[in-house]
Amino acid sequence: MLRRLIIAIRGDPVSLLHRLGHNVSRSVPAICLINRTLYADCQRPLRNGKVGRLYSTSIQHPSLRDIAAEIKAGRITNVVIMAGAGISTPSGIPDFRTPGTGLYDNLSKYNLPYAEAIFDLDYFSGDPKPFFTLAKDLYHEGCYRPNIVHHFVRLLSDKDVLQKMYTQNIDGLERAAGIPEDKLVEAHGTFATATCQKCWKKYDGDDIKEAILQSEVPHCQHPSCNGVIKPDIVFFGEQLPGQFYNFVTELPLAQLLVVMGTSLEVHPFAGMASYVSRSVPRILFNKEVAGSFLHEPRPSDVILAGDIVASVEEFCRHLRWSKELHELMKRDTS
C-alpha cells in the first residue's frame, strides 16, 4: 500500500506524508519508512540520466584524499551539496549567527523584539520596513560576486558529478556562478520572484527592485489591492518550496554529501544531512563542527573545521582541479 502511494505521489513526499496522516515536521519515522522503501528501488534512472547505484565506501575512515580518488576514478558520480551563509562570507556577505559579525548581532538599528523577527511572517505583516532595509543592502548590484566555493560547485556540475545543490542562501550567488537551475534548490526561497501578500498576485523580482532601492515598501499594482509585495524568501512560519522535499527521494541516491558553511541550526534543512545512507561519506567544510556531525558522527564523516576557502582549495588539490577552477573563475569574472 505504501509502495503504491509512493509511486502515485512520487516527487511530492509532503502530500504523501499528509495522506498518511503525518505532520511533516513531526514525521521522521514516516520519512524513514519511505526512505527504506526507496532504497529498495535505487536502480531506477536519475533525472540526470544516470542510473542510481548505491555507493558504499570500503574505506573505514576515509580522508579527503581518499574521497577525491573515488571521484577521479569515477566511482562517485552523484554528489549532493548542502550550503549555508558561510559559503558567501568570502564574497563579503555576513552570515547570520557568527558572534559579532553575523547579521543577528547587528540588527540593533531596527529595534526588533528578537533577531529572527526580521524573517518572521507575523512581524513582517505588522512592520515590513526592517526586512526591506535589509533587502536593499542585498540588492546592491555588482557589490557581491560569487567566490571560489560557488565556482567549485559549478565545476562539479560541469564535470557532471553534481546531483543537486541545496542552498539556504538568498543572495543569488549560486545562479550568478552559473550553477544550472535544474541542479539548484533554493530551499529558503529567492529574490527572483515575489508575491502580493493580499491577493497573491505573482511578480518578477525586477518589478519590485526599484521600490526597494528607493527605500520604499513595494505595493501591489492591482487597482483594488495595494497589498504589500514580499520577495519569495521563506520566512519563519512559511512552508519551504515543494521542490525542497524531493530530498527524501534524492538523498538516498547520493554517493557523497558535502555540507558547507552552515551552522545546521535551522530545520527542516539541517535534518537532511542524516538522510544519506550511513555507508556514504559525508564531508563538512565549516569553521566549527555542527549539527549531526557533532551529535551523531559517523565513521565515514570527513570534517575540515576551518576556513572554507582553504578547505575547498585543499579538496581541489587532491582532485587535481585547482588550475581548472581558477581558470573557470577568471573566465566568469572577466
Smaller CB separation from ligand OAD, 96 or 321: 96
Q: Which residues pair with 165 in a beta bridge?
A: 81, 184
Of the candidate spans 50-58, 84-92, 128-136, 274-282, the one that interacts with ligand OAD by CB under 6 A turns out to be 84-92
- CB-count burial class (<10 Å; 0-12, 13-18, 19+) for 188: buried
Give Cβ neighbours of residue 187 (< 8 Å, ≥ 6 apart).
Answer: 166, 167, 168, 234, 240, 241, 244, 269
Stretch binding ligand OAD (CB under 6 A), from 16-24, 48-56, 83-91, 324-332: 83-91
Task: Give the active site residue among 150, 188, 222, 318.
Answer: 188
Least separation in angstroms between residue 298's CB and ligand OAD is 19
Considering only residues 280 to 309 of the shown chain, the ones binding ligand OAD according to CB under 6 A are 286-288, 290, 307-308
Specify whether 188 is catalytic: yes
* Candidate list 78, 89, 163, 274; residue touching ligand OAD; CB under 6 A: 89
The number of beta carbons lying within 10 Å of the beta carbon of residue 272 is 23
In whole angstroms, give the CA distance from residue 319 to residue 193: 37
Candidate residues 127, 137, 216, 265; the one interacting with ligand OAD per rule CB under 6 A? 265
| Environment class of 296 (CB within 10 Å of its CB; exposed 0-12, middle 13-18, buried 19+) | exposed
Grid cell, residue 65, equals 584524499
Which of the stretches 7-15, 35-43, 81-89, 218-226 binds ligand OAD when contact is defined by CB under 6 A? Answer: 81-89
User: Using CA atoms, how far apart are residues 270 and 286, in angstroms rounded to an integer?
Assistant: 14
* Edge-to-edge order in the sheet of strand 189-196: 202-204, 189-196, 229-233
The answer to the question of residue 98 lying near ligand OAD (CB under 6 A) is: yes
CB 154, CB 179: distance < 8 Å? yes
Answer for the pair 308, 283: CB distance below 8 angstroms, yes or no.
no
Q: Kindly tell me which of 183 and 188 has the beta carbon lying closer to ligand OAD.
A: 188
Ranges within 144-183 binding ligand OAD (CB under 6 A):
168, 170
Q: With respect to ligand OAD, which residue has the nearer C-beta, 107 or 253?
A: 107
Distance CA 26, CA 270 (A): 14
* Rounded-to-integer distance, Cα 191 and Cα 233, Å: 7
| Segment near ligand OAD (CB under 6 A); pick from 8-16, 60-68, 262-270, 293-301 | 262-270
What minimum distance in Å lies between the beta carbon of 80 and ligand OAD? 17
The answer to whether 122 contacts ligand OAD (rule: CB under 6 A) is no
What distance in Å separates the CA atoms of residue 132 and residue 282, rounded to the nearest whole number?
Answer: 37
Pick from 90, 227, 268, 271 the residue near ligand OAD by CB under 6 A: 90
Taking the least distance from each CB to ligand OAD, the nearer of 170 and 280 is 170
Residue 97 interacts with ligand OAD (CB under 6 A): yes or no: yes
Of 4-12, 41-49, 135-143, 258-266, the segment contacting ligand OAD by CB under 6 A is 258-266
Task: Single out the residue of 79, 82, 156, 266 in contact with ligand OAD (rule: CB under 6 A).
Answer: 266
- CA-to-CA distance for 209 and 196, rounded, in angstroms? 14
Interface with ligand OAD in residues 191-210 (CB under 6 A): none
- ∠ at Cα 109 (108, 114), nearest 5°? 40
Residue numbers at the binding site for ligand OAD (CB under 6 A) = 84-86, 89-90, 95-98, 102, 119, 168, 170, 188, 234, 261-263, 265-266, 286-288, 290, 307-308
| Residue positions annotated with a catalytic role | 188
